[in-house]
């Protein structure tokens, strides 16, 4: 009885782990372009994010004529002030 339960637990764990996705937003840039890919004959469409833009007008110029939209990056830290460098203390021997 223990072997079927362990087998079932292993299978469920594998299926749950398969749904993990990578982060789609780059936190270094404030604007992302969401590009929509059309599905072909057998499907296979999809979309992706290109977070390499510093302004909305720059992103909109790149997205012009494409199946894409520009959005503000929700993971960009807008309000964080620059951090001063940390002081390093020397060890006294």
The one-character DSSP state at 41 is: T
- Say how far apart CA 59 and CA 49 lie, in whole Å: 12
- Say how far apart CA 8 and CA 82 lie, in whole Å: 51
Pairing state of beta strands 46-53 and 68-72?
unpaired
pLDDT under 70 in the chain at which residues? 1-4, 6, 10-23, 40-44, 79-83, 93
Confirm whether pTM is higher than 0.85.
Answer: no
**Residue from 86, 81, 87, 71 nearest 24 by CA:** 71
- Say how far apart CA 75 and CA 72 lie, in whole Å: 9
Q: What is the pLDDT of residues 71-81, one digit of tens each?
A: 999 888 776 66
């Amino acid at each position: 009885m223990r072997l079927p339960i362990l087998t079932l637990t292993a299978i469920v764990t594998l299926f749950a782990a398969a749904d993990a996705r990578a982060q789609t937003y780059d936190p270094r840039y404030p604007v992302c372009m969401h590009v929509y890919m059309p599905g072909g004959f057998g499907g296979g469409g999809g979309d992706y994010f290109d977070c390499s833009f510093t302004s909305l007008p720059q992103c909109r110029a790149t997205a012009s004529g494409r199946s894409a939209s520009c959005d503000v990056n929700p993971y960009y830290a807008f309000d964080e002030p620059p951090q001063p460098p940390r002081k390093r203390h020397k060890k006294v021997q």
